[in-house]
Amino acid sequence: MTRLIKYLDYFCFYVIVVGFDEVDRGCCGSGFIEATFMCNRISHVCSDPSKYVFWDSIHPTEKAYHNLFVANRHVLDALING
């Protein structure tokens, strides 16, 4: 199981950055230091989050999570179905 997790970590990193315009900063705030509650109603938010890998400095955007799920669905199905 540990090898599987390591494989998914490396594979996921590649999958998550392909197809995005902005991969090194987040959509919310300045994009470099904000996380969770620091991204709020008064924070600057980019106009198109689907172009960003990260929503804030550590959390992936909805599109990034979707890409990870699609890329790893076969692994999750195998784990669930045994």
Query: Among positive and negative, which fits the CA dihedral 55, 59, 62, 63?
Result: positive
Of 6-10, 12-16, 53-57, 59-63, least confident by mean pLDDT is 6-10
Query: Among positive and negative, which fits the CA dihedral 53, 5, 33, 36?
Result: positive
Quote the number of domains for the chain: 1
**pLDDT per residue as tens digits for the range 59-79:** 889 998 888 888 878 877 887
Task: Provide the domain limits for residue 36.
Answer: 2-81
> Where does the pLDDT of residue 13 fall: very low under 50, low under 70, confident under 90, or very high at 90 and above?
low
